[in-house]
Every structure is written in structure tokens, then in C-alpha cells.
Copies of this chain bind each other. A is one copy, B any other.
Amino acid sequence: MNKFHEQLLHQHQHLWNAILNHPFLKKTAEGNIEDKTFKTWMRQDYIFVREAIPFMAVLLAKAPVAMRSMFIQIITGLEKELELFRKNAEAHGVNLETMEAAPTCHAYIQFLMNVAYNNSFEEGFTVLYTAEKAYLDSWMAVKENLKGESPWQQFIDNWTSEAFQQYVDWLAATLDELAEGKPEQDLTKMEQLFKLTARYEYLFWEMADKAEEWAV
């Protein structure tokens, strides 16, 4: 039988394909994404990565003792990722600090935090896996279809690196362990959170591509 994380990906492959085929990623790979569009993403994703730290922190608080060191490493990794954004922002003349979260970015962060606080650790972990797996697969899709060097190469390299792949492998293996032996209703709750996270991931590219703003 398939592993739990494989079941999730299989069950929602329609969603997953929609993410990986999003115009934002295609244009980034083909090298014809507008500077303005990519910069919008950069500014929003900077906020998202920054606000992923409190999310990870609540997961750390609920994590089994043996997993805590790993979460501390992940949080430290997010701090380094913020550095990557700041370096690239400077290089491309982007101001990261004046941006407010667009509706989808804001909503996605609220979702992460609510799940971390209100749900079980296993459920929170499912969201974490889904979000990181979506990053890995999305940027892998970009890398594979890449026409020449990209001005945004460092982002592509970051989420397709050996280290990031190994991290996502660990997340998948750990998710499988957490799911092991769980009754159907627990797995269903995890599956629903996988679906919601994937939906937010899709909307995040959409937000960047359409330069989404608050209606009022």
C-alpha cells in the first residue's frame, strides 16, 4: 500500500497539477515573467516566510521532545531564507518593509496559525508538509523547464537544493510515521488540511500573478 503522503498527493493530483502548471511558474521558467509580477511575489513571500516563524514556533511547542531540535533547525533556516529575500531585494531594488500582506497572503498565514493553535500536532504537521512540498515541487517545475539563467536564480536554487529536498523527504517520512495506525477519521482530518493548504498554495501564485489587492 502507498505511504500516507503519497496517498494525499495522489488523491489531490488535480489540485497539485494546477499548482505546478500555474502561469506564474511557467512564465518564471520561460523567462518572460514581468519584473513587477515577480517582485510582487517576492514582497508577499517575504511576509509569508517571516510569518511562518510563529507557525513553526507553535508546532515546536506541541512537537514530541525528539522532534524539537529539528524544528529549531527549521526556524533557523527560515531566518536564513529571510536573508536571501533581503539580499535579492537589494539587488533588484525592491523594498520589502513597506508592503502589507495581500488578502490571500494574509488569509494563508491566518490559516497556518489557526491550525497550529487549534488542531493537533499531527494536523499542524500535515499543513507544514503540504506547504513545503508545494514549494519544492513548484520550483522543481520551474527548474526543469528553465530557459537559460534566470534573474531569480537564487530563489530557484534555494527551493530545489539538495538540502531542501532532504528536508522535504524528512517531512514526508515523518508525516507517514505520524499517520501510522491512525483511525480513518483522523486521517480524513489530515487529508482535508492537505487539500486546504494546496488550495492556498494555488491562490498564492494567483495573488502574485494578478497583483491582488484589498478591495477597500
Contacts and interface: CB of A to CB of B under 8 A. Distances in A.
Interface of A: 14-15, 18-19, 50, 53-55, 57-58, 60-62, 65, 68-69, 71-72, 75-76, 79, 103, 106-107, 109-111, 113-114, 116-122, 180-184, 186, 196, 198-199, 202-203, 206, 214-216
A112 B57 CA distance: 16
Given A61-B58, A62-B54, A202-B216, A120 B118 contact: no
Contacts of A119: 62
State the oligomeric state as a number of copies: 4
A113 B107 contact: no
Contact of A183 (B55, B116, B180): B180
17 contacts: A14-B216, A18-B215, A19-B216, A53-B68, A53-B72, A57-B57, A58-B58, A61-B113, A106-B111, A107-B107, A107-B111, A113-B117, A120-B120, A120-B122, A180-B183, A182-B186, A202-B216
Given A53-B72, A54-B62, A199-B215, 9 more contacts: A14-B216, A18-B215, A61-B118, A72-B79, A103-B199, A110-B110, A120-B122, A182-B186, A199-B214
Contacts of A203: 103, 215
Contacts of A15: 216
